[in-house]
Amino acid sequence: MKIRVTMWNEYRHEKKEENVAAVYPEGIHGAIADYLAADSECEVRTATLDEPEHGLTDEILDNTDVLIWWGHIAHSEVRDEIVEKLHKRVLCGMGLLVLHSGHHSKIFKRLMGTTCNLKWREIGEKERLWVIEPNHPIAEGIEEYVELEHEEMYGERFDIPAPDALVFAGWFQGGEVFRSGCCFNRGYGKVFYFQPGHETYPTYHNQVILKIIKNAVRWAKPVKIVPILACSNPKSLEKLT
Ligand code: ZN
């Protein structure tokens, strides 16, 4: 069965800023969705903030195995009831990939329970992204490191709980380091945070970055989705005297 992916983007920078539209004429969501759609294993749709229900209706979420999230300037416009719904979906098994500035999205902060604050600097310095766990499925086929000529610096401390697995660490030319690829288990769901992807740079045209995202989609695919999470009060399996 194919992995049903929904690529969500707030899709504001691309509409407002010519320099971003020049890098992503089809939107950030379009660039990532096009790459994933070329894989016969994936069935991809896109959703954006300004669609009704932010494009995340129950019907769409019922048909989503993995949700990818890119947001930045409009986190506060994401409606709380939709965030509530996504949170429940993740706990019930839906996979979630949170990209770059999505570290401050409501859904990511809710899942982490911390501020998710970090250091940042936007001067287009070089990033060297190191593979920390070469044997992890998300690092499959990736060399020892990837160099991105220009990225926004994200630096420690990143206020997140200790990840269940740290797959990538970023080093920036200015000297900072960052936990750039973090895996978390939340309920039945798997969550991956991935740092590269500032909107003014062609990061999501980089084939290695795209491959990492595809690997992460495969990793986050649910093994089992449960309809609800509830306590139960079962009778004993053995006869108790
Ligand atoms: Zn950025």
CA of 92 to the centre of ligand 1 (A): 30
Instruction: Note whether 83 and 110 are within 8 A (CB).
Output: yes
What is the pLDDT of the chain when averaged over all its residues? 98
Distance (angstroms) between ligand 1 centre and the Cα of 101 equals 5
Bond preceding residue 157 cis, omega within 30 of 0: yes
Q: How confident is the model over 48-90, as pLDDT tens digits?
A: 999 999 999 999 999 999 999 999 999 999 999 999 999 999 9
Tell me the mean pLDDT in the region 175-202: 98
Residue 130 has pLDDT above 90, yes or no: yes
**Residue 89 φ then ψ, to 5°:** -60, -40
Residue 125 Cα to ligand 1 midpoint, Å, equals: 12
Is the confidence at residue 92, as pLDDT, over 90?
yes
- What is the model's pLDDT at position 103? 98
Where in the chain are the domains?
3-220
Instruction: Please give the Cα distance from 193 to 220 (Å, whole number).
Output: 11
30 CA → ligand 1 middle, Å: 18
Q: What is the pTM of this model?
A: 0.97
What tokens appear for 69 in the block? Answer: 């999230």
Structure tokens at 8: 């969500």
Per-residue pLDDT, 120: 98
Work out the angle at residue 136's Cα, subtended by the Cα atoms of residues 224 and 131, and round it to the nearest 5 degrees.
Answer: 140
The predicted structure's pLDDT at residue 228: 86
CATH topology for 3-220 is Rossmann fold (3.40.50)
